[in-house]
Chains A and B, each alone.
Chain A
Amino acid sequence: MIKTTQWVAICLVLCLSVSTAFSQESAAPSNVTAVDTPNDDGSSITIKWDAAAEDTGISGYQILRQIADGDLEEIGELLPAGTTTYVDSAIEKGNIYTYIVRATTETEATVDSEQTIPVKGTGEWFHTGKTALFIVMLLFSATIVWNIYDARSGKEIFVRRIPGLEAVDEAIGRATEMGRSILYVLGLGSIGRVATIASMTILGQVARRTADYETPLRVPCIDPIVLNVVREVVKTSYIDEGHPDAYNEENIFYLTGSQFAYAAGVDGMMVREKPAAIFLQGSFAAESLILAETGNSIGAIQIAGTDSEHQLPFFIAACDYTLIGEELYAATAYLSKDPMFLGSLKGQDWGKVLILGMIVLGVALEISGINWITTLLQQVN
């Protein structure tokens, strides 16, 4: 026969165990997983768990980590309630880690989750989040290359009229008639800038024409590498036109590497040498208007072109002709009629078609609540 006291004891134990089991169930972080963080260099592990129900009284989470067979240690600070992920970026290569997520309640009691399966940080060779970027890049490259080869096969390619480029010959002609020089400014850009390369190609075309007329062509440079390449470009143009003696290396020189000192120097050249034509082609910053206004004040024909969109308003206000943004790149194709430039110009137009298509399709999809395109274009680091 069981005594009353024993009954009481059993009941108590049952109640206690049920209540602790109940509280464990509700408060212990569930579904805790630790995985190697995808698309990283292998220096972190991501721990995730399910959000606790609202009335469990959890005030925060503490992550505990065990390296291989070592001891459990607390890592990081106490995470606020409502957190469901933690990225452990203080791991060492090759070690194996297991984690426990400890929930802390308002009464400062703690409940631990189960230990996760062991995990190791590994670096990935390809960032899957950048797949779209990679494919678009390949597609665009293929389009450009295909169009260039198409153009090289002798197919006629149309280029629309670019106002300002017709003025190039007029400007050079005027300088020759007046017996004055031509000033060519390539802007502040280094050799890696697209605008600088486009500008050098245009300069090559201008130099071909000045070689024939023997008009002095003055090129002050701000970048030493550009200086060296420009000398080669102009020299080649003169040789190609059969006037190697007319080439004077001293007309292409280094002025200084500092923006406003450069502007001061070029301004000085303008007012003293009074060139009849000034070309301002390349990438520019605040000095754009200093140059363009001074050029205007001496009455030179000015043809500007830049992809620095902030400086375009000033060129438009102060110069006779301005190539806007991509027009500067297109000018190389227009002037040289080189199939390489013509073809890639056409490829770029296909790129624009693609962009326009994406915008129109994207807007239509977004309005109907589908966000494929915006997800595809998501910024990935």
Chain B
Amino acid sequence: MFEKLMNIDRRIIFIFVALVVIIPMLFPFSLPLNVSEPTQKLYDYIDALPAGSTIMISFDYGPSSFPETEPMAAAVMKHCFDKGIKVIGVAVAYIDAVPLADRVMQQVAAEKEAVYGEDYVLLGYRPGEEYVILGMGAEIASVYDSDFSATSITEIPMMQNITNYDQISLLLNLAAGSSVEGWITYGHTKFNLKIAAGVTGVIVSQMYPYLQTGQLVGLLSGFRGAGEYEKLIKAPGDGTKGINTASLVHLLIIGLVVIGNIAFFVQRQREE
């Protein structure tokens, strides 16, 4: 029996993985989730902003990494629209981030009845990462003369009172790559722009040094960060669903490793 268990057909493992992902999707449940400090910090910062202020979200992820970062964008934007905070969307790292950003912005706007051009705007992508960040510090219009659908920035109502980072209360960088470093080096250090990050699980550990030094005012890490933020705004969504499902898959893998090792040791003892 143990020998069989050790050389189990991989397709049985595949079935387990599939079940562990499908079942929570059909019968949602929720595991307890403690809000971590970096998430709480970001929430508190945004929560303290007066109505009418503006934050900027930089969408720096592509189609291969949006599942983790998109729920963060949705949760933060819901919070902003509830509080009357305006949102500017930009993309500095990936050209294919724009349709993804457009999609999530439209979804949240429809739910919260926010109006394009007045409550939020998507400026789109411009090449040359650090030059875009530096350029906007002097004047946003020098980099983005129009939004992503080529409407002139002068015709967008909410951009009338915004010239540069001085009118931006926070930059949230949703990243799957190294764009956070760019925003810190050029946006924070040079223009004193307040920066927060929401990143995929794989690059979370690179963010901690910036959090310690205060260069980041807050941090959302992967599904977990999105789930925590959803808990804070009391609107469970894809992040909560994601972290629950992902927890189960992690437990499944750990369980498999444990079973595999028990079988291995029993087998070895018998052979001896």
Contact = CB atoms under 8 A, between A and B. Distances in A.
A and B touch in the complex (CB under 8 A): yes
A50 B10 CA distance: 72
Interface in A268-288: 286
Contacts of A293: 10
A19 interface: no
Interface string B58-81: 000000100000000000000000
3 contacts: A286-B64, A293-B10, A297-B10
Contacts, number: 3
Interface residues of A, number: 3
Nearest to A297: B10
Contacts of B64: 286
A286 B176 CA distance: 14
Contacts of B10: 293, 297
Interface in A285-300: 286, 293, 297
A297 B10 CA distance: 8
A338 B105 CA distance: 59
Nearest to B138: A77
A297 B8 CA distance: 12
Contacts of A286: 64
Nearest to B9: A297
Interface string B1-22: 0000000001000000000000
Contacts of A297: 10
B218 to A, nearest CB: 27
A366 to B, nearest CB: 19
A286 B65 CA distance: 12
Interface in B41-100: 64
A297 B13 CA distance: 13
A290 to B, nearest CB: 13
A3 to B, nearest CB: 59
Nearest to B202: A310
A297 B14 CA distance: 13
Interface in B107-162: none
Nearest to A260: B64
A286 B10 CA distance: 20
Interface string A235-271: 0000000000000000000000000000000000000
B15 to A, nearest CB: 15
A286 B202 CA distance: 12
B247 to A, nearest CB: 22
A297 B11 CA distance: 10
A118 B64 CA distance: 56
A261 to B, nearest CB: 14
A76 to B, nearest CB: 11
B104 to A, nearest CB: 23
3 tightest A-B CB contacts, nearest first: A297-B10, A286-B64, A293-B10
Nearest to B11: A297
Interface in A84-119: none
A233 B185 CA distance: 45
Nearest to B64: A286
A293 B10 CA distance: 10
A286 B64 CA distance: 10
A318 to B, nearest CB: 11
B203 to A, nearest CB: 11
